[in-house]
Amino acid sequence: MSSVFEQFALPNGSVLPNRLAKAAMEENMAAAGQLPDASLVRLYRRWSQGGVGLIITGNVMVHAEALTGPGGVVLDAESPLAPFREWATAAKSGGSQVWMQINHPGRQVGANMPGVAWGPSAVRVDLGKNTKRFAQPVEMTATQIEETVTRFAETARRAEEAGFDGVEIHAAHGYLLSQFLSPLANRRTDRWGGDLADRARLLLDIVRAVRALVSPDFAVAVKLNSADFQRGGFDAEDAKAVIEMLAPLGVDVVELSGGSYEAPAMTGQTKDERTQAREAYFLTLAEDLARTSPLPLMLTGGIVRRPVAEEVLAGGVDLVGMGSALAVDPDLPNRWRHDAEARVDLAPVRIEDKAVASAASMARVRQQLRRLGAGRRPRPGMDPKLALAKETFLQRRALRRYRTWLQTRVA
């Protein structure tokens, strides 16, 4: 059985120093100009020194007018590269590789955000009484779809220029590429809708365009839902088929997660019997996919103990992704080298409304990231409702700054 501390050779020939990865978490910590600053540099240096073999950034937006939140980092054709070079250098300072996760939110945009809300179809995020918190999307035109392919490829090219070792294309969690994959969100009747092959066309075109612009030894990964956890949505059989479609395109790793804003399984807010109650939420689904996957797989979701990480590897998965655990204890991988029973404890969020519970859970994690970025110790016992209140205040301030910046960008 593979150990979490064994090296792993990627299909592109590069070698990760171990099987542990810091999975992407949405920091929403961009400074003025939607750029990384000293806080993000400090945070990522801390993670690299903590012992992970791979660091995947929080999502970096490919379209300045479409952000998951007002504190999102943007890397496009107009962004200065110097801050990104500093970010990459810090993230590799302890020997890790660093990949930039690149993303477009599509319809998962707040109703108060400026810019655009696009989707494969004009189908709004359905959160019941919270639905109005999200913008009403417009169906993308063929030109907008083609421009999106170009944006992803340009961001990947510039990420390599800035010193990153790879990119991860985000096609999970209900964001734009996941929306195209979903038969619930994608009701198109043209070549980007209908059967799975056509719903996957945008993702596949983006992978081809990225691979054409970057070096052969630059990693290209895809984050994919193992399932959406919605009746009639993207399911495990669809995931299996998409992985097979990606295999001949030069993809190095597929990271498996699950859920969306409508069914937030990625924060543990699901009762689906295929998710483990406490750790490795998507392990059962991942083990099924690993039996036939032609590509290396990475699993993320709720892992806080080394025995569980080893169980993931024993199930045929190649890399273990951790998010919240490393927000609470960035040194956990190094601690595991000396104490296999070392773990972190993050109390579950007990809020009845799943959407609010998911937001509070993410806010609590984000507060830990801010503390680490300021050079302070995490406070995992923070009340999630208080964290959500603090994060709401910070996001309002970031929204004012983003509005001003965007006006200068599109003028």
| Residue 226: predicted pLDDT | 78
Residue spans of alpha helices (H) in 162-248: 176-181, 196-199, 201-213, 236-246
| Residue 353: predicted pLDDT | 82
Residue 325 and residue 349: Cα distance in Å, rounded? 15
| Residue 300: predicted pLDDT | 87
Tell me 347's DSSP state: P
| Residue 405: predicted pLDDT | 97
- The whole-angstrom distance between residue 110's C-alpha and the CA centroid of its chain comes to 18
Asked, for residue 3, whether it belongs to a domain, the answer is: no
Q: Angle, nearest 10°, between helix axes 201-213 and 142-161?
A: 30
Indicate whether 354 pLDDT > 80. Answer: no
Tell me 141's DSSP state: P
Angle CA(76)–CA(188)–CA(122) in degrees, nearest 5? 65
Enumerate the β-bridge partners of residue 300. 321
| Residue 345: predicted pLDDT | 84
Q: Which residue has the tokens 């992985």?
A: 243
In which band, very low, low, confident or very high, does the pLDDT at 12 lie, cut at 50, 70 and 90? very high
Write the pLDDT tens digit of every residue in 55-108: 999 999 999 999 999 999 999 999 999 999 999 999 999 999 999 999 999 999
Tell me the whole-structure pTM to 2 decimals.
0.93
Angle CA(38)–CA(91)–CA(360) in degrees, nearest 5? 70
Residue 100 and residue 170: Cα distance in Å, rounded? 10
Q: Which residues contact 133 (CB under 8 A, 6 or more apart)?
A: 110, 111, 127
Residue spans of alpha helices (H) in 50-170: 82-91, 142-161
Contact 381, 36 (CB under 8 A): no
Angle CA(383)–CA(334)–CA(373) in degrees, nearest 5? 45
Coil vs helix vs strand at 224: strand
Q: What's the whole-number mean pLDDT along residues 184-210?
A: 97
Write the pLDDT tens digit of every residue in 240-287: 999 999 999 999 999 998 655 544 444 443 444 433 444 555 678 788
Two structure tokens written together for 199: 């719903």
2 or 289: whose pLDDT is higher?
A: 289
Asked, for residue 280, whether it belongs to a domain, the answer is: yes
Indicate whether 359 pLDDT > 90. Answer: no
Tell me 35's DSSP state: B
The sign one gets for the Cα dihedral 25, 26, 30, 34 is: positive
Q: How many CB atoms lie under 10 A from the CB of residue 231?
A: 8
Contact 35, 79 (CB under 8 A): yes
Residue 43 and residue 369: Cα distance in Å, rounded? 7
Question: What is the Cα Rg of the chain in Å?
Answer: 19
Q: DSSP of 1-23, one letter per residue?
A: ---TTS-EE-TTS-EESSSEEE-
Domain that holds residue 73: 8-410
Asked, for residue 151, whether it belongs to a domain, the answer is: yes
Asked, for residue 227, whether it belongs to a domain, the answer is: yes
Two structure tokens written together for 68: 């998951």
Residue 379 and residue 400: Cα distance in Å, rounded? 28
| Residue 131: predicted pLDDT | 81
Residue 206 and residue 177: Cα distance in Å, rounded? 10
Indicate whether 154 pLDDT > 70. Answer: yes
The phi and psi torsions of 46 (rounded to 5 degrees) equal -60, -45
In which band, very low, low, confident or very high, does the pLDDT at 190 lie, cut at 50, 70 and 90? very high
CATH number of the domain encompassing residue 80: 3.20.20.70
Angle CA(320)–CA(324)–CA(326) in degrees, nearest 5? 70
Asked, for residue 2, whether it belongs to a domain, the answer is: no
Q: Give how many domains the chain has, as a whole number.
A: 1
Q: DSSP of 109-138, one letter per residue?
A: -BTT--S--EESSS-----GGGGGGB---E
Indicate whether 315 pLDDT > 70. Answer: yes
Among candidate residues 195, 33, 174, 21, the one with its CA nearest the CA of residue 108: 174
With pLDDT > 90 as the criterion, what percentage of the chain qualifies? 77
